[in-house]
Structure 1
Amino acid sequence: MTSWQIVRMFAGTFILVSLALGIPGSPLFVSPWWLALTAFVGANLLQSAFTRWCPLEIILRKLGARGGA
Structure 2
Amino acid sequence: MEKVIRRLAGAFVTISVILGYFMSPYWFLFTLFVGLNLFQSSFTNWCLAEQILAKVGIGVEKEADSQSNSLS
Relative to the length of structure 2, the TM-score reads 0.76
* Higher relative contact order, chain-length normalized (CA < 8 Å, sep 6+): 1
- Determine what percentage of the aligned residue pairs are the same residue: 45
- Structure with bigger helix share is 2
If you compute each CA radius of gyration, which structure gives the higher value, 1 or 2?
2
Deviation at 1:42, TM superposition (A): 0.1
C-alpha separation in 1, matches of 2:31 and 2:25: 11
After TM superposition, where is structure 1 displaced by more than 4 Å over at least 4 residues in a row?
none
Q: Which runs of 5+ in 2 are unaligned?
A: 68-72
* Pairs aligned (count): 62
| Long gaps (5+) in structure 1 | 24-28
Give the alignment's Cα RMSD to 1 decimal.
1.8
Provide the TM-score with structure 1 as the length reference: 0.79
